[in-house]
């Protein structure tokens, strides 16, 4: 089983910081417009959301794994709800690599595998180096082509 690059935690922590700032701003808005709150409430609310986000990011990093198996891409992830996903190579339609602005700043990318036949027909593997994402993209594309004649069960 392979793990994600450790810098993905920084991305998830940055997302927690944005969420914490939004919660803090909402609490400050409530304080100024609707009901007077103690000064510590907006700061405390933001701090709690940030700390929960940091703990979640650390736990999620430890539980996010993927593996190329004989006939599928297998993923395990989750903190509160644990999810196991198996994507048969025969179901793979196409594979993208994505580089968002924060990911690029951290030297990371994501691999997105699009599959046939269902709603939400994509699987995302975040926290890969661009080289690793491209290599995995090429490998998955080759394995999908090789498995074209196989059954998708």
* 49 and 83, same domain (yes or no): no
Question: Which among 87, 63, 98, 82 has a CA at the least distance from the CA of 144?
Answer: 87
Mean pLDDT over all residues of the chain? 89
* 29 and 70, same domain (yes or no): no
| Total domains, the chain | 2
Say how far apart CA 97 and CA 84 lie, in whole Å. 21
Mean pLDDT of 85-91: 91
Handedness of CA 130, 135, 138, 140 (dihedral sign): negative
1 lies in a domain? no
Please answer whether residues 54 and 13 qualify as being in contact, where contact means their C-beta atoms are separated by less than 8 angstroms. yes
Question: Which among 108, 83, 96 has a CA at the least distance from the CA of 5?
Answer: 108
* 15 and 40, same domain (yes or no): yes
The yes-or-no verdict on residue 5 having pLDDT over 70 is yes
Give the range of the structural domain holding residue 52, as residue numbers without chain letter: 7-62
* 81 and 37, same domain (yes or no): no
3-state SS class at 15: helix
* 137 and 124, same domain (yes or no): yes
Say how far apart CA 14 and CA 75 lie, in whole Å. 24
Give me the pLDDT at residue 147, please.
80
* 135 and 97, same domain (yes or no): yes
* 14 and 50, same domain (yes or no): yes
CATH number at residue 81: 2.30.29.30
Please, which pLDDT band fits residue 138 given cuts at 50, 70 and 90? very high
152 lies in a domain? no
140 lies in a domain? yes
pTM of the model: 0.83
* 79 and 141, same domain (yes or no): yes
Please answer whether residues 18 and 51 qualify as being in contact, where contact means their C-beta atoms are separated by less than 8 angstroms. no
CB atoms within 10 A of CB 127: 25
153 lies in a domain? no
105 lies in a domain? yes
Alpha-carbon distances, residue 3 vs 6, 43, 94, 126, 128 (angstroms): 8, 34, 23, 10, 9
* 104 and 81, same domain (yes or no): yes
């Amino acid at each position: 089983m392979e793990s994600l690059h450790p810098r993905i935690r920084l991305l998830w922590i940055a997302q927690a910081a944005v969420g914490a700032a939004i919660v803090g701003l909402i609490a400050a808005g409530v304080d100024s417009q609707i009901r007077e709150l103690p000064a510590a409430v907006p700061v405390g609310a933001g701090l709690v959301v940030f700390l929960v986000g940091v703990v979640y990011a650390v736990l999620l990093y430890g539980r996010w794994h993927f593996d190329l198996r004989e006939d599928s891409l297998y993923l395990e992830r989750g903190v509160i709800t644990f999810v196991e996903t198996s994507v048969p190579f025969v179901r793979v339609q196409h594979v993208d690599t994505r580089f968002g602005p924060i990911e690029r700043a951290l030297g990371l990318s994501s691999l997105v595998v699009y599959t046939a036949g269902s709603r939400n027909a994509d699987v995302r593997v975040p926290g890969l180096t661009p080289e690793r994402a491209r290599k995995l993209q090429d490998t998955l594309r080759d394995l999908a082509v090789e498995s074209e004649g196989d059954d998708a069960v």
